[in-house]
Amino acid sequence: MAYIVNRLLSVALTLFLISIITFSITNILPGDVAMMIMGTQSNPEALAALRQSLGLNDPVIVQYGRWIGGVLSGDWGVSLLFREPILPLIAQKMLASGLIVVMSMTIALCLAIPLGVWAARHRDRWQDTTSSTVALLGLSMPDFFIGIMLILLFAASLGWLPSSGFIDPTEDLIGAMRHALMPSLALGLGLMAHLTRMTRSSMMGILSQEFIRVARAKGLPERTVVWRYALPNAIGPVMTVAGLQIGYLFGSIIVIESLFSYTGMGWLTYQALLNRDIPLIQSTVFVIAAVVMLVNLIVDLLYRLIDPRIRLG
Amino acid sequence: MKRREFLASSALATGAFGFSLGTPTRLWADEPVSGGTLVWGHSETTQNLDMHQTGTASTSRVLQNIHNSVVTINREMEVVPQLAESFEVSEDGLSYTFRLRQGVLFHDGTTMTAEDVKYSFERCANPETGAVNFEVFNDMAEIETPDDQTVIVRMARPNAPFLSRLAENGAGVVMPAGSGDSQGTNPTGAGPFRFVRREFGNEVELERFDDYWDGPAFLDRIIAREITEPTVRLTGLNTGELHLINDIPAERISQVEEDGNLQVRTWAPLNFDFVNFNHNLELFQDRRVRLAFDLLIDKEMLLQGALWGQGEGTATPSFPRDAARNPDISHRAQDLPQARALLQEAGYAPGSLSVVFKVTTNYPYHVESAQIIAEWAREAGVNMTIEQLTWADWLSQVWVDRDFEMTMMNFFTIWESDRLYYSLFHSTGGFNYRGINDSLVDDLTEQARGEVDPDARIALYREIQQHMFDEVLDIVLWYRNGSIGAQPSVGGLDTLVHPNGSNLDFHKVWLRA
């Protein structure tokens, strides 16, 4: 318990530091949100009036204080560009991205673990080569390319899946999953490649250890040796990588989100940055950082469940 | 309406607006019917939904259906009444009297009165609102509302373009008094459709407002899905998920037209594009240098190369249907030897002049244009370097800081001559990011602003255009086409595009059962 409290405290401290760094960097960037709102419809007087009404003329420290005070009191403010309250906006986009992240990770793990185990069991034979080739294909094809191919196949030619868009999973789960399937596949196939290689090398290490030889010598069925004895010992590094990928995914799925007009956290962060919408930039970076750290904490806790030899703290 | 009459009226509407019918005679002789939900694949994300505060063409395109203005423009670019039944301008140009329509209802159920107009104008004029068009009311002294149906705007000095500036929703929109704070997230107006919801970054839903003063729209509902990726938008139209899309990728228009399965409409102008010089630099204060750059561009080839021919060449930025457009100006032909000679004469021997051309990746065809122009520049002995900037960087470096040598930009919906010429070319104009400082342009634009006789104003604007062309203040390239693709089931497409060339008006659009 003390371990969890300590970790949570360090998460809070890191988030605070991240918020200061983000705020400083975004204030150095050229341009501001008033300029982006008006675009080429602005003139110096109108721009000055708008800056005043948005509070951009206040000292940076005052602007930061306003934001952090709001976050602590549960009022995350309003996006300067879109005039939408930030907290519900982020909740909605986290739900959208969360669905894709969970689905793509499920697809990736369901494919990668069997494929990696299969390759490790048949090291240097055709099964290993096949698995490596599949992984290499996944690694070398960019996800947006896979995405376009999927759209052409499943939406344009076969008409099985919608080509773009998002449906709220709390309103229609099946519809939401249908819309999320192609983006998840595009991401999942790329992820799968990493995880397959990870599973393979980790399994190879375990399969060459003494206790596996003993298990085989005892006459245990190969299936039990691999899945019951080897895999739980080999899965740790795979989970670490998968955990890191989940955090990474939330911020980096912008390309796939744009391609499928599936507007989630990646898209929102990108829009915020592009438009210099500082409160929104702050809040999205804050949330993504928090998710990355919390997922890593959960992965560490899961280690303990899978492998009781690991002690935390 | 008989088939022959319908064909004739369609052809008239099409001709008047410069439409080209992409699909081989896809005119339907059927009558409009009510009902149905139209799914529109919108090319951009909507931003702040407050009509006063939004400066983007993308958001205005949606808000056009929610709001009406006191006055509007017709296809001939004339100011005509909308929420006002009639208007009157005093001879000295110092007072504008609007008689409002009786019984106009807002979406919140209240009836429009003179107080709402007063509220809306004052809200726009108040600098604290952050309205994009607040300067329209700079010369306004006071607003009187003698009764519920009459609004009198008194001016401190004559401002000839005032009325036509009110024809854009950004300035002339009427919102219910006191609704300002909620307009950004829940826009309420007196237009043909009522705002239902926005799933931010995803879609906007509008429903028919049955009590619309000009008769209810045909469609029950419009879902504007925001699909910014052009290919995916087109795929959605092809698969039938979408009824209609705007902005077909330029390189795909001819293919979609040839397929013949969809209706295609293209029109000019969506906007105009021009190449700019920084007049604050000594280099570009020399007319010979500006002329040399004009002469090294083959405008027709550039239109084909960068825009796939989806536009129409023009040497003046005035709207094609604007009476003030000078019909006598046309592009100079490409003449590389002459360009080289002019540069030599100005003191720049071949190879000695280096220029940086800043373009924004927000408009990919600007990058392509710059690449083609750089090649011609090289042939004329100029080393041209291209710097590609994000939209934020372009706005910051070029628009605000004026830190550039050459650049390229476009403008949407600037059809009103004062806004166009005073803002963009007067030495104190708000949009004069090129630092143009030409005393004749200043004199003429000021005269035109105070000139209440329409014919005299037209003559002044034509003179300005001739002078700008002679002096090569900028190189105006083309009007870029707008485009729409639609399923055969969509009727009334010819009424969809607003006269300003950018907004879409769904009032008379309908779906075949």
Q: How far apart are CA B396 and CA A136, in angstroms?
A: 43
Query: B472: left (phi > 0), else alpha (psi -120 to 50), else beta?
Result: left
Residues of B in contact with A44 (CB under 8 A): 430
Residues of A in contact with B49 (CB under 8 A): 83
Predicted local confidence at residue B461, as pLDDT? 96
Residues of B in contact with A159 (CB under 8 A): 239
Inform me whether the C-beta atom of residue B50 falls under 8 Å from chain A C-beta atoms: yes
Q: How many CA atoms lie within 13 A of A287 on its CB side?
A: 26
Q: How far apart are CA B306 and CA B366, in angstroms?
A: 8
B140-147 vs B244-246, strand pairing mode: unpaired
List B224's β-bridge partners, or say none: B40, B204
Q: How far apart are CA A289 and CA A211, in angstroms?
A: 40
Inform me whether the C-beta atom of residue B259 falls under 8 Å from chain A C-beta atoms: no
Residues of A in contact with B50 (CB under 8 A): 83
As a whole number, mean pLDDT of residues B177-182 equals 94
DSSP B53: T
Mean pLDDT, contiguous 10-residue spans, chain A (313 residues): 84 89 82 79 78 82 85 84 86 90 92 90 86 83 86 86 84 89 89 88 88 87 85 85 80 79 86 85 88 84 74 58
Residue B293: CB partners within 8 Å, gap ≥ 6? B275, B277, B339, B377, B406, B472, B475
* A residues 262-281 closer than 8 Å to B (CB): 263, 267-268, 271, 274-276
Q: Looking up tokens 């245990």, which residue turns up?
A: A220
C-alpha distance from B91 to closest chain A C-alpha (Å): 31
Asked casually if ipTM beats, i.e. exceeds, 0.85, the reply is no
* A residues 144-173 closer than 8 Å to B (CB): 148, 151-152, 155-156, 159, 162-166, 168
Q: Band the pLDDT of B64: cuts 50, 70, 90.
A: very high
Interface test with A, best of B39, B48, B390 (most A CBs within 10 A): B48
Nearest CA in chain B to A83: B48
Cβ-contact A71, B179 below 8 angstroms:
no
Inform me whether the C-beta atom of residue B423 falls under 8 Å from chain A C-beta atoms: yes
Quick check: B288 pLDDT over 90?
A: yes
Inform me whether the C-beta atom of residue B137 falls under 8 Å from chain A C-beta atoms: no
User: From the CA atom positions of chain A, what is the Rg in Å?
Assistant: 24
Nearest CA in chain B to A262: B202
Identify the helix (H) or strand (E) that includes residue B389.
strand B382-389
Q: Looking up tokens 């935390």, which residue turns up?
A: A312
As a whole number, mean pLDDT of residues B360-367 equals 91
Predicted TM-score (pTM) of the model is 0.80
C-alpha distance from B180 to closest chain A C-alpha (Å): 13
Quick check: B7 pLDDT over 90?
A: no
DSSP B400: I
B406-412 vs B353-360, strand pairing mode: parallel
Residues of B in contact with A266 (CB under 8 A): none
Predicted local confidence at residue B15, as pLDDT? 40
C-alpha distance from B228 to closest chain A C-alpha (Å): 7
C-alpha distance from B427 to closest chain A C-alpha (Å): 13
C-alpha distances out from residue B92 to B20, B158, B455, Å: 43, 7, 16
As a whole number, mean pLDDT of residues B243-270 equals 89
Enumerate the domain spans of chain A: 33-75, 87-306
Six-digit token string for B167: 């024809």
Quick check: B216 pLDDT over 50?
A: yes
Q: What CATH number does the domain located at A87-306 have?
A: 1.10.3720.10
Nearest C-alpha neighbor of A229 from the set A115, A133, A307, A287: A307
Cβ-contact B513, B31 below 8 angstroms:
no
Q: Looking up tokens 């344009």, which residue turns up?
A: A156
Nearest CA in chain B to A160: B239
Quick check: B394 pLDDT over 60?
A: yes
